[in-house]
Amino acid sequence: MKKIGLLCLALVLALGTLGVGYAMWSDEVIIEGTVDTGTLRLGIVKAKLEELVQDKDVATVDLSFESSIAPWECDTPVNAEEFAYEKLVVALNNTFPCLWVDIAFYVGSVGTIPVHITGINITDPSKELTWVWEDEPPRTPCGGYFYHTGDPDKEPVITVSIGGSVCTQLHWCDWVKADLMIHVEQPAKQNYEYQFEVKVIGEQWAE
């Protein structure tokens, strides 16, 4: 009986302190927020062989894409791919010196931030060819520059000229057409498939 009494006393005291706690006045403000960051996405959405200049129909050019970035959900250009891709892979088969190849490729913006195209990088995944700029870049060159291969002191194996107004600004769903004009030079190897990757570089327009 004494224990029950003590328990009751403890409860009363506890309720009493609770009463003090709730006895104060208060007010409150709620601040809620949602955050979405933008995206800067630039991809190659279409490529086609425009011209293959050769006397006999021996050389072939394969075009393929690697690393999809995002769906290309825009109406143009005609026959565009379903995705925008990070890389265009160009494979030259059974080539020979003096072969001319003209490839058109289309670069599209699939990001929400306007993008400024600053250049095009060409690399050879097999490391057979080292692509260098004719002019040392402060930044990756865009149009009108030539690339060549191997030791700059030696004769190039392949030269590539980039045509079209590639270095432009694109908004979501905008695209621009560019050209790769490829010339196979005299030092090219026999019975060898030359392959290189084309990647377009961009940065947000405001920088």
Partner 1 sequence: MKKIGLLSLALVLALGTLGVGYALWFDEVTIEGTVNTGSVEISINATSETYVYKNVTSSAMVMSGVPLSHGIGTDLRLVASATAEDTSSGTEKKVTMTFDNIFPTTEPIVADVVLHYIGSIPVHVVLIEDSVDEAIEPYLVQKWYMWDGEDWVPTEIEELQLHYCDLLKLDVYLDPAFLQADGKAAQGLSGNFTKTIFVHQWNEEP
Binding residues vs partner 1 (CB under 8 A): 20-21, 23-41, 111-114, 116, 169, 171, 204-207
What is the rounded CA–CA span in Å between residue 86 and residue 80? 14
Q: Phi and psi at residue 169, in whole multiples of 5°?
A: -105, 135
Picking from 61, 57, 115, the residue whose alpha carbon sits closest to that of residue 88 is 61
Q: Are 131 and 122 in contact (CB under 8 A)?
A: yes
Measured from the CB atom, is 26 or 190 closer to partner 1? 26
Closest CB 19 distance from partner 1, rounded Å: 12
Question: Which of 68, 195 has the CB closer to partner 1?
Answer: 68
What's the min distance (Å) between Cβ of 207 and partner 1?
8
CB of 106 to partner 1, least distance (A): 21
* Least distance CB 74 / partner 1 (angstroms): 16
- As beta bridge partners, residue 84 has 70
Of the pair 27, 55, the CB lying nearest partner 1 is at 27
In angstroms, how far is the first alpha carbon of the chain from the final one? 81
Q: How far apart are CA 120 and CA 168, in angstroms?
A: 12
Residue 129 or residue 170: which is nearer to partner 1 going by CB?
170
Q: Which residue has the tokens 């260098």?
A: 132
* 11 vs 9: CA distance, rounded Å: 5
CB nearer to partner 1: give 186 or 204: 204
What is the closest distance, in whole angstroms, from the C-beta atom of residue 129 to partner 1 in the complex? 28
Instruction: Dig out the tokens for 170 from the structure.
Output: 């694109």
Nearer to partner 1, 28 or 75 (CB): 28
Least separation, in Å, of the C-beta of 125 and partner 1? 21
Give the Cα separation of 109 and 198 in Å (integer): 16
